Structure 1
Amino acid sequence: MTRKLYWEGGITESEVEVLYCEKWADRGYRVLLNATPFHPQGGGQPSDAGWIDEAEVFAVEEADGNIIHYTHQEVGSGSAFARVNVDQRQRYSRLHSAGHLIGHALEAFAWRPVKAHHWPGEARVTFKPAGDAQAVDVEAVQNLCEDLIARNLPCKVKVDEKQFRQVGFGELKPYGCGGTHVAETADLQGLQILSANLRKGQLIVQYDIQ
Structure 2
Amino acid sequence: MERRVYLRSDDLDMNVDVVGCSQAVDGTFHVELSATLIHPHGGGQPSDVGTIGQASVIRVIQVNDDVIHICDREEPIGSACIQVSSPHRVLHARLHSAGHLIGYCGERLGWKAVKAHHWPGEARVVFEAGQGMELMTADTIERLANEQVAAASPRYTFQEGQV
Q: TM-score range by the shorter chain?
A: over 0.9
Amino acid at match of 2:38: F
Asked if the contact 2:9/2:37 (under 8 Å) is kept, the reply is: no
Deviation at 1:104, TM superposition (A): 1.2
How far apart are the structure 2 equivalents of 1:26 and 1:47? 19
How far apart are the structure 2 equivalents of 1:71 and 1:158? 30
Q: Per the alignment, in what secondary structure is the counterpart of residue 19 of structure 1?
A: strand
Deviation digits for residues 1-39 of structure 1 (CA, Å, limit 9, x no counterpart): 111010122232111111111111133111111111111
Which of the two has greater helix per residue? 2
How far apart are the structure 2 equivalents of 1:123 and 1:69? 24
Deviation at 1:78, TM superposition (A): 0.7
How far apart are the structure 2 equivalents of 1:112 and 1:155? 22
Aligned residues: 163
Tell me the equivalent position of 2:162.
163
How far apart are the structure 2 equivalents of 1:26 and 1:154? 43
Q: Does 1:149 align with 2:149?
A: yes
Q: Per the alignment, in what secondary structure is the counterpart of residue 41 of structure 1?
A: coil
Tell me the equivalent position of 2:99.
99
How far apart are the structure 1 equivalents of 2:92 and 2:62? 17
Tell me the equivalent position of 2:52.
52
- Structure 1: gaps of 5 or more residues: 165-210
How far apart are the structure 2 equivalents of 1:98 and 1:26? 35
Deviation digits for residues 111-139 of structure 1 (CA, Å, limit 9, x no counterpart): 01110000111110011122121221111
Deviation digits for residues 167-196 of structure 1 (CA, Å, limit 9, x no counterpart): xxxxxxxxxxxxxxxxxxxxxxxxxxxxxx
How far apart are the structure 2 equivalents of 1:26 and 1:96? 30
Q: Per the alignment, in what secondary structure is the counterpart of residue 67 of structure 2?
A: strand
Q: Per the alignment, in what secondary structure is the counterpart of residue 158 of structure 2?
A: strand
Tell me the equivalent position of 1:27.
27
Deviation at 1:163, TM superposition (A): 3.5
How far apart are the structure 2 equivalents of 1:77 and 1:155? 36
Tell me the equivalent position of 2:114.
114
Tell me the equivalent position of 1:81.
81
How far apart are the structure 2 equivalents of 1:40 and 1:20? 17
Q: Which runs of 4+ in 1 moved over 6 A?
A: none
- Structure 2: gaps of 5 or more residues: none
Amino acid at match of 2:2: T
How far apart are the structure 2 equivalents of 1:11 and 1:4? 12
Give the TM-score of the pair, scaled to structure 2: 0.96
Q: How does 1:181-192 map to 2 (within 5 A)?
A: none
Q: Per the alignment, in what secondary structure is the counterpart of residue 98 of structure 1?
A: helix
Give the TM-score of the pair, scaled to structure 1: 0.75
Tell me the equivalent position of 1:37.
37
How far apart are the structure 1 equivalents of 2:157 and 2:50? 25
Tell me the equivalent position of 1:15.
15
Deviation at 1:107, TM superposition (A): 1.2
Amino acid at match of 1:28: T
Q: Does 1:128 align with 2:128?
A: yes
